[in-house]
Amino acid sequence: MEYDNDAGAISARVLDAGEMNAHFLVDNFNLETANALRRVMLAEIPTIAIDIVEVLDNTTVLADEFIAHRLGLIPLSAKGVEELQYSRDCDCEGYCELCSVVLTLNARCNSDQIMHVHARDLVISAGRPNEEVGNPVLKDPERNGPCIVKLRKGQAIHMRCIAKKGIAKEHAKWAPSAAIGFEYDPNNKLKHLDYWYEADAQAEWPKDEAHANLDGDVADGEPFDYDAKPEKFFYNVETVGGLDPDQIVHQGIAVLQKKLAEIISVVQGDDNVDGFGGAQSPQMNGGYGNDAGYTTPYGNNTVWGGGGGGPAGGSTTPFGATPYGGGY
């Protein structure tokens, strides 16, 4: 993965890679970009997750919205998700084959045994861009995937789940990675961190020997370089299953590049690009009203009546005119 052996070029080195995680080191990097890459990998890589659930039948003990929430959090394979459109960019109304994958959950328990409904039981309807995207991720030895709900005799669940493309900025269910290990300067040469200690910081703080050795030891008597900047960054990317860890890194770089490119083109005044490129939350299209906490979960309708009406008019209130009328 080394592009250039020159001293100033960015280089990466894989320390450990597996099916679930990638542990690597990037050298000659800068903190701003390194963190930007971390943030992008956490929140801006498009993946796929169940976004709309149409409840056809639910006689389980769990409430509709509770199961819908569980379904949303089930990791689906995001391989080939780039062939899918964002639903908001699609010409269809609601959803279509171009912008969504439909999974159906249909189970009924007829035996006396308690029946477990797993992610495996999500059946994908035909008509998706490729054979990979939208598959439930099954990593356990029995290849069942997460348990969604348990059914007792006579209970049934039938739900149509529409999985859409999205990013974790909007909802955590689209996160390709739940947590990304990030570290620089394990030996604290830059003194960004002022260790708290009782007697001796060296003795009291645990040391990550592997990282510390890779970063180079502090030579005794070496003067403190207050201009020094962090250059080596340790990443540990762990996937939730939808994307391979290396894919997450590749995608992260790609998304970051795209974002930067768009900024450059906007700054340079290139007319070809619309100002809202890149990943964004579907809020721009409306549709999702309720978020973040600064809006109430009741939409913008205040308790006191007509949403959107607002205090227009002044003289009339939702309760009708004041007894004093519109001005004496």
Partner 1 sequence: MAPAATSTEWSTDFDTARRQRLFQSPPKDTTAYPMLAAAVDPHIESFNSIFARKGLLDEGIKDIGTKVFLDGDPYAQPEETGPRNRLHVRIREVFFDKAVLPATNKFALQNRNVFPAECRERHATYKGKYRARIDWRVNNGDWQEEVRDLGYVPIMLKSNRCHLENLTPDQLVKAKEETEELGGYFIVNGIEKLIRMLLVNRRNYPMAIKRGAFTNRGPGYTPYGIVIRCVRRDQTSQTNALHYLSDGNVNLRFSWRKAEYLVPAMMVLKALVETNDREIFEGVVGAAGSPGLGEKQFVTDRVELLLRTYRVYGIHSKAKTRAYLGEKFKVILQVPEDMTDEDAGTEFLRRIVLPHLGSYDVTESQNNDKFRMLLFMVRKLYALVEGECAVDNPDAVQHQEVLLGGHLYGMILKERLDEWLNSLRLPLMEWGRKNDWPAFTSPQFQRDFLPKIMKRTNENIGQAMEYFLSTGNLVSPTGLDLQQTAGFCVVAEKINFYRFISHFRMVHRGAFFAQLKTTTVRKLLPESWGFLCPVHTPDGSPCGLLNHFAHKCKIATESVDVSAIPGLVAQLGVQSRSSASLDASVVVQLDGRVLGFCSPKQAKIVGDTLRYWKVEGTHGVPLELEVGYIPNSNGGQYPGLYMFSQSARMYRPVKYLPLDRLDYVGPFEQPFMSIACTNPEIVSGDSTHVEYDPTNLLSILANMTPFSDHNQSPRNMYQCQMGKQSMGTPGTALRYRTDNKTYRLQTGQTPVVRPPLHNEYGLDNFPNGTNAVVAVISYTGYDMDDAMILNKSSHERGFGHGTIYKTKICDLEEGTRKSRSARLVSKLFGFPPGGLVRAAWREKLDDDGLPRIGTALQAGDIIAAWHTVSYDPASNEYVNRDLQTQFFKYKEDELAFVEEVRIIGSEDGTSPCQKISIKLRVPRSPVIGDKFSSRHGQKGVCSQKWPAIDMPFSESGIQPDVIINPHAFPSRMTIGMFVESLAGKAGALHGIPQDSTPFRFDEQNTATDFFGHQLMKAGYNYYGNEPMYSGITGQEFAADIYLGVVYYQRLRHMVNDKYQVRTTGPVNQLTGQPIKGRKKGGGIRVGEMERDALLAHGTAFLLQDRLMNCSDYMKAPICRACGSFLSTQPTVSEFDRKKKGNTMVRCRRCAKLAEGSESTSEIWMDGQGVRYTGGDDVAVVAVPGVLKYLDVELASMGVRLKFNVSP
Per CB under 8 A, which region of 75-83, 126-134, 192-200, 248-256 contacts partner 1? 192-200
Helix, strand, or coil here: 48? strand
Per CB under 8 A, which region of 118-126, 215-223, 263-271, 298-306 contacts partner 1? 298-306
152 contacts partner 1 (rule: CB under 8 A): no
Residue type, 213: N
**What is the per-residue binding string for partner 1 in 308-327, x denoting contact by CB under 8 A?**
---x--x--xxx--xxx--x
CB atoms closer than 10 angstroms to residue 167: 23
79 contacts partner 1 (rule: CB under 8 A): no
Give the separation between CA 129 and CA 184, rounded to whole angstroms: 40
Number of residues that bind partner 1 (CB under 8 A): 62
Give the separation between CA 9 and CA 209, rounded to whole angstroms: 26
CA contacts within 13 A on the Cβ side of 120: 12
Among 66, 218, 228, 288, binds partner 1 (CB under 8 A): 66
Give the separation between CA 237 and CA 40, rounded to whole angstroms: 12
Per CB under 8 A, which region of 9-17, 201-209, 213-221, 262-270 contacts partner 1? 201-209
Q: Which residue has the tokens 């999500």?
A: 122
CB atoms closer than 10 angstroms to residue 156: 16
Among 10, 12, 31, 273, binds partner 1 (CB under 8 A): 31
Apex CA 135: angle with CA 130 and CA 137, to 5°? 140
Return residues touching partner 1 (CB under 8 A): 31-32, 34-36, 38-39, 42-43, 55, 58, 63-66, 69, 73, 114, 168-169, 171-173, 175, 179-185, 192-196, 198, 204-206, 208, 236, 238, 292-294, 296-298, 302-304, 311, 314, 317-319, 322-324, 327-328
